[in-house]
Amino acid sequence: MRKRLPVLLLVFLCSFTLLAQDYFPKNDGVKTTDSNYTAFTNARIYVTPTRVIDKGTLLIRRGKIVAAGNNVSVPDNSLVVDLEGKHIYPSFIDIYSEFGVQKPAKKGRGRRSPQYDASRKGFYWNDHIMPEKNAFDKFDFDTKKAKELLQAGFGTVNTHVADGIVRGTSVLVALDSVDTYDMRILDRETAQHFSFMKSIASAQNYPTSLMGAMALIRQMYRDAEWYAGGNAENKDLSLEALNANKGLPQIFDAGSYQNDLRAAKIAREFGLNYILKGGTDEYQRIREIKATGARFILPLDFPEAYDVSDPYLAGKISLADMRLWNQAPGNPAALAKNDIPFAFTLAGLKKTSDFKSRLIRAIDYGLDKEKALEALTTAPAELLGKSEIIGSLKSGSYANFLITSGDIFDKETILYENWVLGEKHVVNKMDVKDIRGEYNLSIAGKTYTLKITGEPSSPKPELKSDTTKLNTKLTYENGWLNLFFAPDKEETGFQRLSALVTDPKSLSGKAVLANGSESTWSATRTSGYEEKSKEDKDEKYIPETVPVTYPNKAYGFATLPEQENILFKNATVWTSEEEGILENTDVLVKNGKIARIGKDLSAGGAKVIDATGKHLTAGIIDEHSHIATASVNEAGHNSSAEVSIEDVVDADDINIYRNLSGGVTSIQVLHGSANPIGGRSAIIKLKWGLPADKLIYKNTPGFIKFALGENVKQSNWGDLQTVRFPQSRMGVEQVYMDYFQRAKEYDAGKKSGKPYRFDYEMETLAEILNDERFITCHSYVQSEINMLMKVAEKFGFTINTFTHILEGYKVADKMKAHGVRGASTFSDWWAYKYEVNDAIPYNAAIMQSQGLNVSINSDDAEMSRRLNQEAGKTVKYGGVSEEEAWKMVTINPARMLHLDDRVGSIKEGKDADLVLWDGHPLSVYTIAEKTFIEGALYYDYETMKATQKVIAQERNKLINQMIKAKSKGMKTQAPKKKDEKHFHCDTEVYGI
């Protein structure tokens, strides 16, 4: 394992590097070393953001800061530069850069030959894990880009190859275009980099999803621990590098608040401390972001306003996207206000020159200037563990500093010089007199109006005779102004004016007229220059920020719902229990639980809701759903038991709110059907407004998705037909036999007490064998249903639930004999693909008649909010009673999910997940008026209608803001509609 050098020793060695070439022979002149000092005096010096010296002196020598203060002793052999009225700042640092390194070329995947195995020998089994890579090996100093960065105020960058899930180490580079690599490279291995994105250089399929990437990272860390313990039989260069890099800062490219929380979840599990490269939306869940304890790297790529001049196109923009434009510039201020450490990065900006205007915008939105300077200097240095050498003007640091005309964050401030490693890089000449403004120019008895704009070092002229604009050119170098113009439209000749500028208020000099005769000219300034560029207009317009809601989109809550004690009076109560349907009955809710059921109950201080003529039911439970998730299939392998939908729950999905409007309170979010053994499911309550981890049920049995049929053997994958095993129904059976045999052997080895390699996939399958995890199986054809039950019996467990189960009516007796806990089916879907040609709408009734526990599920975001109506169809098809039909969407799915002791019926002691309907709950005309979860009101019909008006008003306000922004010169983007993703079992089988 490599040993890291202590910081002080590193500083010493870096200092030594600056001197190391002294022993090189000199054949081109004398060998005397320049040992002079340079002293910058009378400047306002920002040693750190919190330590500022007025009228101070900065002393440097041989690329290092010697001293900074008011009483610095200036040696005799010093070059003294008087910076009266100027400011000195540490040069900026970007610790998330791709400077000088190129991403590898994209490797295409064969249309019919996907890559399943790794292409490298001696490395980790997955090509997207590359901790052994080093950006230094791919680095080539980019002089042109370095100039851009220097002009923006940056002196140091931490650069890496932004490719892969584990990307290897970054290299710390000084942007000194004068010196050579031995000087520029401050550290060859600065930080280890991670992301959730695969490498474009590899065609290896796995992972195809976000949850797959998370599972892969977890397994990698487990394998690294196993390898470090000396247990591996073969050498693995990737795991060796990963273990060796543990002492480096760990930077994770997350990119959004949701992925921030996902990366932080992994960090907690393994005791890591990721530095998260975030997005522009952390403010939306700032409490949860703070709770991660993570430090951040923030981009400044705030979204541009939309061009909403076309009302039709404006209607395509979501409220969430409008809000992001309005709110995102306040993201840095939100983190600062909550004491969350962060540094800035240029990543994401289209042009480096946009940096200053974006930064000023963040300051206009409330970011303190001191915190802004910290985020560009001391904070990034601290994150990298390099505070002793960069990020400040303390003694011993590299001489990386800026000289400016004033406050670095003032839009009118001029950056004169950017010194890196003690070498001067001129951005704007410091001795240039600013001649910008308006003048009356007199020559040969005629007066013109001269307007000079542009930058001080490269001014632009506009000359008019009366109202006629003349053809004019101007140069301004080394204090000399030269002006050429045609005095008339015919342009028969040019008049040439020159002058040495001593006083910009009054210019005068020699002139050569168009006829060749000599004369004199003079110009008197009538007004100073006022910046009126588009960028300034952009910065000056700060629209009123609209409030954040939870979630931060349409129908989000301004304040989160709270539990209430409630008494429902005189309702028709559908208990879904033996008591059946109770007329004119009261239900009392206390502390989130159903406390009492009966007539004429006392409120005892509880809020009273008059439910006369209305129906009260338990919340609907959807056993098979794919809403509220960021991805649904991990299709890279034929088994993905290691992945979990819990990792990718999307609490901001609008379908949560829509489901609440249909009386749904709990769902099982299932993995898709891309493979025989899918991923672990997430069982959630639809607590709209709460973060993802607060939706997931606690202390419940685990579930996993299995699948049979056409999807898993890839018969319907079209042009992307692959060669992945299995390709037949026979192969599907063998997948199960093989994996369960392996799991059985793994479990035995684990229980033996001997050392074993922890395997998330095998752990999950062993849980099934030990009755600790239960299977929900996607199924259609009777032969396959029989097959899976026989496999289960061979290994000593039972199938918990067959879902879809559209040929269940053919094998209901066998399912009952096997001990299947539930059959979850569609009400009347059939013939949408070949393997469901035998489906009938009487399926649910027939299976129930055989004693099976039957539920109606959705597998569809639209159907899930109409499950009350889907249940009603079973009354028509098969003559199921209304009460039994209602149980198919309440207590029956609760039993399948082993949650019937907590939800699914109205019974004393159960969670108060309740729905108040304005009529018969199975009717297509009935509306869910109120939906409660644990006694908190998450949906109210009247509130929803009022909110629609509020949303319309907010949209109009934001549209007017964007129209004004455009009129002020702000850049805009074309309106675009983001299509909603409606996941089904077969969505994303082709990968991401």
Backbone angle region of 880, left / alpha / beta, with phi > 0 → left and psi within -120 to 50 → alpha = beta
Nearest Cα residue to 249 out of 283, 277, 221, 220: 277
Query: What residues contact 391, with CB distance under 8 A and at least 6 apart?
Result: 90, 93, 377, 378, 379, 380, 381, 382, 397
Picking from 4-13, 121-130, 345-354, which range would have the lowest pLDDT averaged per residue?
4-13
Q: How far apart are CA 71 and CA 82, in angstroms?
A: 15
Out of 793-797, 844-848, 954-958, 964-968, least confident range = 964-968
pLDDT score for 721:
54
For residues 840, 845, 850, 852, the Cα torsion angle rounded to the nearest 10 degrees is 100
Tell me the mean pLDDT in the region 464-479: 90
Q: H-type helices in 169-255, by residue range?
A: 181-184, 210-228, 237-244
pLDDT(987) > 80? no
Least trusted range by pLDDT, from 222-231, 602-611, 645-654, 979-988: 979-988
The span from the CA of 479 to the CA of 457, in Å, is 10
**In the 3-class helix/strand/coil scheme, how is 85-147 assigned residue by residue?**
CCEEEECEEEEEECCCCCCCCCCCCCCCCCECCCCCCCCCCCCCECCCCEHHHHCCCCHHHHH
| Distance in angstroms (rounded) separating the CA atoms of residues 887 and 691 | 30
Mean pLDDT of 366-385: 98
Residue 151 has pLDDT above 50, yes or no: yes
Find out whether 393 and 402 touch, Cβ atoms under 8 Å: no
Could you give the 3-state DSSP secondary structure of residue 945?
helix
Structure confidence at residue 979 (pLDDT): 77
pLDDT score recorded for residue 992: 36
Query: Does residue 362 surpass a pLDDT of 50?
Result: yes
Question: What is the spatial distance between Cα 518 and Cα 284, in angstroms, rounded to a whole number?
Answer: 69
pLDDT at residue 846, as a whole number = 98
Beta bridge partners of 512: 496, 518
pLDDT at 845: 98
pLDDT of residue 717: 64
H-helix or E-strand spanning residue 962: helix 941-967
Give CA–CA dist 359/344, Å, rounded. 9
The answer to whether 815 and 824 are in contact (CB under 8 A) is no
β-pair type (64-69, 51-61): antiparallel
Q: Residue 436 and residue 43: Cα distance in Å, rounded?
A: 25
- Average pLDDT on 871-884 reads 96
Q: Is the model more confident about 886 or about 720?
A: 886
- Helix (H) / strand (E) containing 651: none
In whole angstroms, give the CA distance from residue 954 to residue 908.
Answer: 43
Both tokens assigned to 827? 């009400």
Confidence of residue 988 (pLDDT cuts 50, 70, 90): low
Residue 194 to residues 87, 97, 165, 787: CA-CA distances in angstroms? 38, 14, 5, 42
Best CA proximity match to 891, nearest among 678, 617, 532:
617
CA distance 669 to 654: 15
What pLDDT is recorded for position 488? 77
| Digit-coded pLDDT (tens) for 490-522 | 767 889 999 999 999 999 999 999 888 999 999
- Helices 210-228 + 760-769 axis angle, to 10: 100
Q: pLDDT at position 429, please?
A: 87
Q: For position 12, what pLDDT does the model report? A: 37
How far apart are alpha carbons 408 and 369 in whole angstroms? 9
Distant-in-sequence, close-in-space partners of 299: CB < 8 Å, separation ≥ 6? 277, 278, 279, 280, 344, 345, 346, 347, 348, 349
Going along 752-873, which residue ranges are E strands? 773-779, 801-804, 822-825, 854-856
16: confidence class by pLDDT, cuts 50, 70, 90? very low
Assessment of whether the complete model's pTM goes beyond 0.75: yes
Token pair for 114: 């996907």
pLDDT value at 17 more than 50: no
Backbone φ and ψ for 570, nearest 5 degrees, come out as: 60, 40
- Amino acid found at 668: Q
Q: What is the pLDDT of residues 123-149, one digit of tens each?
A: 999 999 999 999 999 999 999 999 999
Q: Which of 559, 617, 613, 572 is nearest to 912 (CA)?
A: 617
Omega before residue 299 within 30° of 0, cis: no
- The DSSP secondary-structure symbol of 459 reads E
d(CA 451, CA 459): 10
Tell me which H or E stretch contains 169.
strand 166-169
Give the model's pLDDT for residue 5: 37
Per-residue pLDDT tens for 75-100?
999 999 999 999 999 999 999 999 99
Mean pLDDT across the stretch 238-264?
98
Would you call 515 exposed, middle or buried from its count of C-beta atoms within 10 A (0-12, 13-18, 19+)? exposed
Q: For tokens 């002229």, what's the residue?
A: 461
Both tokens of 690, joined, read: 């709460």
* pLDDT exceeds cutoff 90 at 487: no
User: Could you tell me how far CA 193 lies from the centroid of its own chain?
Assistant: 16
Distance CA 330, CA 207 (A): 35
Name 447's Cβ contacts closer than 8 Å, sequence gap at least 6: 440, 441
**What is the model's pLDDT at position 466?**
86
| Per-chain mean pLDDT for the chain | 92
How many other CB atoms are there within 10 angstroms of residue 781's CB atom?
A: 21
Residue 169 CA, distance from chain mean position: 22
The pair of three-digit structure tokens given for residue 452, joined into one six-digit string: 């000079």
DSSP-based three-state secondary structure for 417: strand
Comparison of pLDDT for 905 and 712, the residue scoring more:
905
Of 336, 285, 347, nearest in space to 157 by CA: 347
User: Which DSSP state fits 723?
Assistant: -
Token digits for 730? Answer: 């026979």
What angle is formed at CA 4 by the lines to CA 96 and CA 378, rounded to 5 degrees?
A: 40
Q: Give backbone dihedrals phi and psi of 855, rounded to 5 degrees, phi first.
A: -130, 160
Give the pLDDT score at 314. Answer: 94
Strand partners, 402: 89, 418
SS (H, E, C) 26-92: CCCCCCCCCCCEEEEEEEEEEEECCEEEEEEEEEEECCEEEEEECCCCCCCCEEEEECCCCEEEECE
In which band, very low, low, confident or very high, does the pLDDT at 528 lie, cut at 50, 70 and 90? Answer: confident
If one compares 634 and 180, the residue with the highest pLDDT of the two is 634
Cβ–Cβ < 8 Å for 500, 489: no
Helix (H, G, I), strand (E, B) or coil at 767: helix
pLDDT at 677 > cutoff 90: yes
Angle of CA points 367, 370, 375, to nearest 5°: 75
Average pLDDT over residues 599-628: 97
SS3 of 896, please? helix
pLDDT in tens, 912-939: 999 999 999 999 999 999 999 999 999 9
pLDDT > 70 in the chain, percent: 93
Which residue is associated with the tokens 């719902």? 561
Do 692 and 258 meet the contact criterion of CB atoms below 8 Å apart?
Answer: yes
Q: How far apart are CA 839 and CA 844, in angstroms?
A: 11
**pLDDT surpasses 50 at 171:** yes
In this structure, what are the phi and psi dihedrals at residue 945, rounded to the nearest 5 degrees?
-65, -40
For residue 677, give both structure tokens: 């053994």
Residue given tokens 């693909």 in the structure block: 833
Q: Predicted confidence band at 441 (pLDDT cuts at 50, 70, 90)?
A: very high
Is pLDDT larger for residue 535 or for residue 238? 238
Residue 876 is which amino acid? K
pLDDT tens sequence across 22-79:
555 666 655 555 678 999 999 999 999 999 999 999 999 999 999 999 999 999 999 9
> How many other C-beta atoms are found inside a 10 Å radius of the C-beta of residue 751?
11
705: Cβ contacts below 8 Å, ≥ 6 apart: 670, 671, 672, 673, 678, 679, 680, 681, 775, 776, 777, 778
pLDDT digits (tens, 9 = 90+) for 400-440: 999 999 999 998 899 999 999 999 999 998 888 889 999 99
**What is the separation of C-alpha 98 from the centre of its chain, rounded to a whole number of angstroms?**
19
